[in-house]
Amino acid sequence: MTQIFFTIAAIFGGFSVAAGAFGAHALREKVSERMLEIFDTGARYQMYHALALLLVAILISRLETPPTTLFISGWLFIIGVTIFSGSLYLLSLTGIKSLGAIAPLGGLSLMAGWAALAVTAATIKF
């Protein structure tokens, strides 16, 4: 699981940098300022959670018996980034407003991932 989380974290991080550059350069003349802000929010949150997923992978590799909540946290971060950032990217690129209703589901998954990580932090012995 460590390798899966580490790999996905690296992919999310790299894609986030690429998305940020794409938004700053290629989209600036093509979409409204508001849509550009939405796209940037997706890229920013993707990077934050790529780093969080990297932390989860490192913790799993370091702990003798990683708690289940740590694995749950990692999967919730993956699901959350996919839904949250993905829906914001699509919204800003297509203008389909109903995609904005999907983003909160991804946000809930991201928050649940942080909650699971907090439970992990409260229960593991360093």
| Residue 113 CB-half CA count within 13 A | 24
Specify the pTM: 0.95
CB proximity list for 115: less than 8 A, separation 6 or greater: none
**pLDDT tens digits, residue range 6-15?**
999 999 999 9
Place of tokens 């699901």: 79
Of the candidates 39, 49, 55, the residue with the CA atom closest to the CA atom of residue 11: 49
50-74 pLDDT, tens digit per residue, is 999 999 999 999 999 999 999 999 9
| Per-residue pLDDT, 28 | 85
- Quickly count: other Cβ atoms within 10 Å of residue 74's Cβ: 29
Domain count, the chain: 1
* CA 22 to chain CA centroid, nearest Å: 18
**What residues contact 75, with CB distance under 8 A and at least 6 apart?**
113
Cβ proximity of 88 and 41 under 8 Å: yes
Dihedral over alpha carbons 88, 85, 45, 70 (to 10 degrees): 150
Structure tokens at 39: 């796209």
Range of the domain at 119: 2-123
